[in-house]
Amino acid sequence: MEVKVFDNDVEKALKILKNKLSKSGLFKELKLRRAYEKPSVKKKRKTIEARRRLAKTLRRKVS
C-alpha cells in the first residue's frame, strides 16, 4: 500500500493511509488476533458477518 505526501503534508497522508487500512480490514483483523477466539465463537461471528453481507447485497439490488 502506498500513499504519496504532497507539500510536506504528512498529517493528510497519515489520514489517507489510515482510511485505506481501515477499508482493507486490517484494523479489524488485528483486533481479532489480539486474543484467542474459541471455535464456537468464531463460527458464530462468521455466520453473523455472512448474514450482514447478504443483507447488504440484497438492499443494494432492491434500491
Question: Which residue in this structure is represented by grid cell 464456537?
Answer: 40
| Res. 47: pLDDT tops 80 | yes
The total of structural domains in the chain comes to 1
Cell of 53: 453481507
Query: What is the pLDDT averaged over residues 3-14?
Result: 94
d(CA 57, CA 44): 20
40 lies in which domain range? 10-62
Q: Using a pLDDT cut of 70, give the percent of the chain over it.
A: 98
Classify residue 44: in a domain, yes or no: yes
d(CA 22, CA 40): 26
Report the pLDDT value the prediction gives residue 1, as an integer from 0 to 100. 84
Phi and psi of 50, rounded to 5°? -65, -40
Classify residue 30: in a domain, yes or no: yes
